[in-house]
Amino acid sequence: MDIRRNHRDMTQQQKADFVEAVLSLKNDIGSVLRPGDQSRYDDFVQIHKNSMGRGSPLVPNPHGSPLFFPWHRVFLRQFELAMQTATNNPSITLPYWNWQLAGADNPFTSNFMGGDGDQTQGGRVSYGPFAKETDRFDLKVWDGETGHRGLQRNLGGASALPTIEAVVSTLKNPLYWEQSGGWESASENDLHNPVHAWIGGDMATASSPNDPMFFLHHCYLDLLWERWRYQHITTAPYSARPDRFHERLESTLVFHPDNEPAPWPQHFTVAQTLAMEDLGYRYEYF
Ligand code: CU1
Ligand code: CU1
């Protein structure tokens, strides 16, 4: 069973191993979707860009939908397994970031996730392991077509990070999904979206997995889904709009258009994502 941790609880070696695994997917492992044109890392960027209706749009779009948590759970787990394979190190797991910045909670350091963008250089991240200067983090997929320039961030340029109080109150929603809100839409809109906006740069685009922070951010959301379930143990862990055929528990999650290659051989229904232990991981604490 793989154990995911808060990045602040990881040893420096564990953090370094994670960073190296990201860089290995970026530099050493070939693409399944566009062999020769991009890396395995870039496949995940492309899938997410498609999922938001850009590139080769996925139907259904798993954003603004009850599918949000199941779809991102599979996406993260496949990325985690790809990192383990790339490094031949089954102890590599995804860290999470709890949206706090004080002290050891801050992931934006030169020896972990790198810093803010340099706004005098178009918002380019200029230090840390994912800076263009390292020559190990070229971007190959982005929302536009040409003229890219390395990973971009603009920390705090827009929006604000969710407060602990906002997290606690969002977790109180008693139903996964309901017409006028519910846990899914409240957490997606009020917790998830502002963090993308707060990091800014690439994180504020459909190609947001270009920033490895994407995975720490979504890992925390995945943990919060578990925490929400734990707090509402008598309600269904998933529910959807009754008139939407593709949101049923038996619906298969979509990661590629019919006329393009599948990014991985397995298929997952919504129901198959509900127990993280069945997917092979759990959280150290939640
Ligand atoms: Cu997403
Ligand atoms: Cu997201």
pLDDT, tens digit, for every residue of 180-234? 789 999 999 999 999 999 999 999 999 999 999 999 999 999 999 999 999 999 9
Query: Which ligand approaches the C-alpha of residue 48 most closely?
Result: 1
Distance (Å) from CA 45 to ligand 2 centroid:
12
Distance (Å) from CA 75 to ligand 1 centroid:
9
Q: Which CATH architecture has domain 2-283?
A: Orthogonal Bundle (1.10)
- Its pTM surpasses 0.95: yes
Query: Which ligand approaches the C-alpha of residue 196 most closely?
Result: 2
The answer, yes or no, to whether residue 145 has pLDDT greater than 80, is: no
- Percent of the chain at pLDDT > 70 equals 99
Report the distance separating Cα 270 and Cα 273, nearest Å. Answer: 6
Distance (Å) from CA 214 to ligand 1 centroid:
9
pLDDT value at residue 181: 84
In this structure, are residues 83 and 76 in contact, taking their beta carbons and an 8 Å threshold? no
In this structure, are residues 137 and 23 in contact, taking their beta carbons and an 8 Å threshold? yes
pLDDT, tens digit, for every residue of 18-75? 999 999 999 999 999 999 999 999 999 999 999 999 999 999 999 999 999 999 999 9
Query: Which ligand approaches the C-alpha of residue 197 most closely?
Result: 2
